[in-house]
């Protein structure tokens, strides 16, 4: 029996409900495939602020560092929105990313045929869309120094952040993108703003040089404004999108929304070694928290990504992904993806249906 230590970070809002479903699913798949999971729960986000005064207690980071993978649900809520920055749930998430060195964020946006009508785009525009956004996650304007709100010589305030990348930061995320594309459609589109920004110019030069090591990959470059347009106009043109932290934040959300069902989308955040973090793209949905209405499928698919990318257990990952497709084929739907003639289920009932399907 292969044994894995998994840290669970249920976080805020609907987090605990959807996490419970993912844990049940992992247990069943584990039994079937002879994998054993040792789950440890830890605090992050608003829940951690309320309990400890910090959005990322040192104990949480320790537990994560000593585990094989981290499954995160969602953080944040109105309640903590007006706290000072160092006490905000988001600050805990950023601390987790940098604390674990998770420089590579993989965000798939794939249209499921069962849910294609949920898209706000025409069927023929989104049919078959299957994009992987590879976003740099520990650099760029999110972490660059200097940053802060300073007072100028004339006495007025000036808000400052620094958008910066070193060559080695660019190279390591570039390699992740090229290697990801090798397992997919073989195309990388690197997105930057090299016609205006020096940091993007360095990015473009390095990625271009790096491409020499990946002769089987078709590399293209696109400006970020054009990429935002092309995602709307013709998303099928993209296979793997490689981009920086801020541009990836914006474009991966736009790509996610092309599917019309962000309650379905998982993500993976990986470092050079050590535990990765796996979490849904959607937020903590405080408005429906505790009402058994949440869609647990993105959380369950995040557990599948954990098995695939974090624990190298692709068979287990496949099993979970098949189960998700099966319940969708059966017509099972939570409220966010409900349509005429389908079976409306709550969060727990969707979990039960998944277990049946397994």
Ligand X SMILES: CC(C)[C@H](C(=O)O)[C@@H](O)C(=O)O
**Strand pairing category for 276-280 and 69-74:** parallel
Rounded to whole angstroms, the Cα distance separating 183 from 185 reads 7
195 binds ligand X (CB under 6 A): yes
Rounded to whole angstroms, the Cα distance separating 142 from 116 reads 34
200 binds its own copies (CB under 8 A): yes
The single residue among 38, 127, 218, 225 that binds ligand X, judged by CB under 6 A, is 225
How many chain residues interact with its own copies (CB under 8 A)? Answer: 60
Q: Which is nearer to ligand X, 41 or 90 (CB)?
A: 90
The single residue among 93, 104, 132, 317 that binds ligand X, judged by CB under 6 A, is 93
Q: Which is nearer to its own copies, 213 or 225 (CB)?
A: 225
What count of other Cβ atoms lies within 10 Å of the Cβ of residue 355? 15
Question: Among 42-50, 59-67, 199-207, 339-347, which window interacts with its own copies (CB under 8 A)?
Answer: 199-207
How many chain residues interact with ligand X (CB under 6 A)? Answer: 7
Q: What three-state secondary structure class fits 71?
A: strand
90 binds ligand X (CB under 6 A): yes
234 binds ligand X (CB under 6 A): no
Q: Which does 34 bind (CB under 5 to 8 A by kind): ligand X, its own copies, none?
A: none
Residues marked active site are found at 142, 193, 225, 249, 253
CB 24 within 8 A of CB 355: yes
The answer on whether 79 is annotated among ligand-binding residues is: yes
Rounded to whole angstroms, the Cα distance separating 247 from 242 reads 10
336 binds ligand X (CB under 6 A): no
What count of other Cβ atoms lies within 10 Å of the Cβ of residue 4? 19
- Residues from 83 through 142 that contact its own copies (CB under 8 A): 85, 88, 90, 94, 120-122, 125, 141-142
Q: Which is nearer to ligand X, 52 or 98 (CB)?
A: 98
Q: Which does 168 bind (CB under 5 to 8 A by kind): ligand X, its own copies, none?
A: its own copies
287 binds its own copies (CB under 8 A): no
Give buried/exposed letters for 164-197 (b at 16+ CB in 10 A, else e): ebeeebbeebbebbbebbeeeeeebbbbbbbeee
243 binds its own copies (CB under 8 A): no
Rg (CA), the chain: 20
Give buried/exposed letters for 6-19 (b at 16+ CB in 10 A, else e): bbbbbbbbbbbbbb
Quick one: tokens of 353?
A: 């249906």
Q: Which is nearer to ligand X, 259 or 313 (CB)?
A: 259
Tell me which residues touch ligand X (CB under 6 A): 90, 93-94, 195-196, 225, 249
């Amino acid at each position: 029996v292969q044994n894995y230590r998994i840290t669970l970070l249920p976080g805020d809002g609907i987090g605990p409900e959807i996490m419970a479903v993912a844990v049940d699913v992992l247990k069943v798949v584990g039994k079937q495939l002879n994998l054993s999971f040792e789950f440890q729960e830890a605090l992050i986000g608003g829940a951690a602020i309320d309990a400890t005064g910090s959005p990322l207690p040192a104990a949480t980071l320790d537990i994560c560092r000593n585990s094989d993978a981290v499954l995160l649900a969602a953080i944040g809520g109105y309640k903590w929105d007006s706290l000072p920055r160092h006490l905000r749930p988001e600050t805990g998430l950023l601390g987790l990313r940098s604390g674990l060195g998770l420089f590579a964020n993989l965000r798939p946006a794939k249209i499921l045929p069962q849910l294609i009508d949920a898209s706000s785009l025409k069927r023929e525009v989104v049919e078959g869309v299957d994009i992987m956004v590879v976003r740099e996650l520990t650099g760029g304007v999110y972490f660059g120094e200097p940053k802060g709100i300073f007072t100028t010589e004339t006495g007025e305030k000036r808000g400052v952040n620094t958008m910066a990348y070193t060559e080695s930061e660019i190279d390591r995320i570039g390699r992740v993108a090229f290697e990801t594309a090798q397992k997919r459609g073989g195309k990388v589109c690197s997105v930057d703003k090299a016609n205006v920004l020096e940091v993007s110019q360095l990015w473009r030069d390095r990625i271009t040089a790096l491409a020499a090591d990946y002769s089987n990959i078709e590399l293209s470059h696109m400006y970020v404004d054009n990429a935002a347009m092309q995602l709307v106009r013709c998303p099928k043109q993209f296979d793997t999108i490689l981009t920086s932290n801020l541009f990836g934040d914006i474009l991966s959300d736009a790509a996610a929304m092309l599917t019309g069902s962000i309650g379905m989308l998982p993500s993976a955040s990986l470092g050079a070694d050590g535990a990765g973090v796996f979490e849904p793209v959607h937020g903590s949905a405080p408005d429906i928290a505790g009402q058994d209405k949440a869609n647990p499928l993105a959380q369950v698919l995040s557990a599948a990504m954990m098995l695939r990318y974090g624990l190298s257990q692709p068979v287990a990952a496949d099993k979970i992904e098949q189960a998700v497709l099966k319940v969708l084929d059966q017509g099972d739907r939570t409220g966010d993806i409900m349509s005429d003639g389908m079976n409306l289920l709550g969060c727990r009932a969707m979990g039960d249906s998944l277990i049946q399907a397994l």
